[in-house]
Amino acid sequence: MTNAPRDAEARRAIAPVICYPNETLPVPDMSLYARARQAARKVGETLVPPRDARCFAVPAGHFFRITSVEGPQVGDLNLWNADDLIERFYSGKTRALHGTHLTTGERMWSSFPHLRPMATIVSDTLDWYGIDSFGGSVHDVIGTRCDPYTGNLLAGTQYHHCCHSNLTRALADHLGVSPDKAEAHVHDVLNVFMCTGFTRDTGQYFMKASPVRPGDYLEFFAEIDLLGGLSACPGGDCSAEHSSDTAPCHPLLVEVFAPIEGALDGWSRPGPNGYDRTHGWGQVG
């Protein structure tokens, strides 16, 4: 190991600065959303079976709610622009903008060159949890999604019901394409209800039993026309292991609510990002 320089402690003692101060982000009109939600009516639901996934459509201006039913269960959520699957949820930039875990008022942002809000969280019954003494919190954008490749790398397994495979099958089903084609669209998720963090001593990604209980929900406002994919993770409440059939698993309920006429007056779908996309090409100097 390299010897520490003489001023090592002084260098460590420098206070951090926030990478992306987010005070200049466009602010969602939460009271408008709340009023629209109050009058909204339910127009559809999808029950996601344990260790499996389903796709669901949410038109712009509608709300969708993910609810724990029957028992504690974690869900892996993918979002796509319904008209262009290339625009999809960007977990890394969402993390940079909002932090490691999401809650009410925060948004799921889309990939470049769009970088616009796809969905805004309007309700979170686990918002009381905060950050526990292990550094754990709920609804993370720091994990990826459980997948069979990592399982094979670490344990030589061939397991087919990881969230990555569940989302691949659900999207293939929805689009009527081969799993091969669908797989390319599956991306890093919002880990709904999952309780995670990084250990302070080794910096490793950890999970612990989710505090979610039946009846808890996370609800979103769709800013653009969305296709969603939700997997009921084989890890169940993720208290012990994932990537196997060992953990008790439960379904997750997705419900969609439509606003009434005029409820969203004053709201408009976010347009494309304002960067001109020339990347300095052809500029002198």
The least CB distance from residue 128 to Zn ion, in Å, is 24
Spatial separation of the C-alpha atoms in residues 170 and 227, rounded to whole Å: 11
Closer residue to Zn ion, CB minimum distance, 146 or 227: 146
Return the number of the residue (163 or 258) whose C-beta is nearest Zn ion: 163
CB-wise, 29 or 183, nearer to Zn ion?
183
Q: Which lies closer to Zn ion via its Cβ, residue 118 or residue 146?
A: 146
Q: Shortest distance, CB of residue 161 to Zn ion, whole angstroms?
A: 9
Q: Looking at beta carbons only, is 56 or 193 nearer to Zn ion? A: 193
Residue numbers at the binding site for Zn ion (CB under 5 A)? 76, 146, 163, 233
Q: Name the minimum Å distance from CB 191 to Zn ion.
A: 8
- Nearest distance, CB of residue 238 and Zn ion, angstroms: 8
d(CA 118, CA 126): 21
CB of 146 to Zn ion, least distance (A): 3
Q: Which residue, 111 or 166, is less far from Zn ion as judged by CB? A: 166
> Least distance (Å) from Zn ion to the CB of residue 248?
14
Which residue bears the tokens 């969708």?
Answer: 64
Radius of gyration over alpha carbons of the chain, in Å? 20
In angstroms, rounded to a whole number, what is the distance separating the alpha carbons of residues 64 and 259? Answer: 11
Min. distance of Cβ 68 from Zn ion in angstroms? Answer: 15
Nearer to Zn ion, 104 or 244 (CB): 244
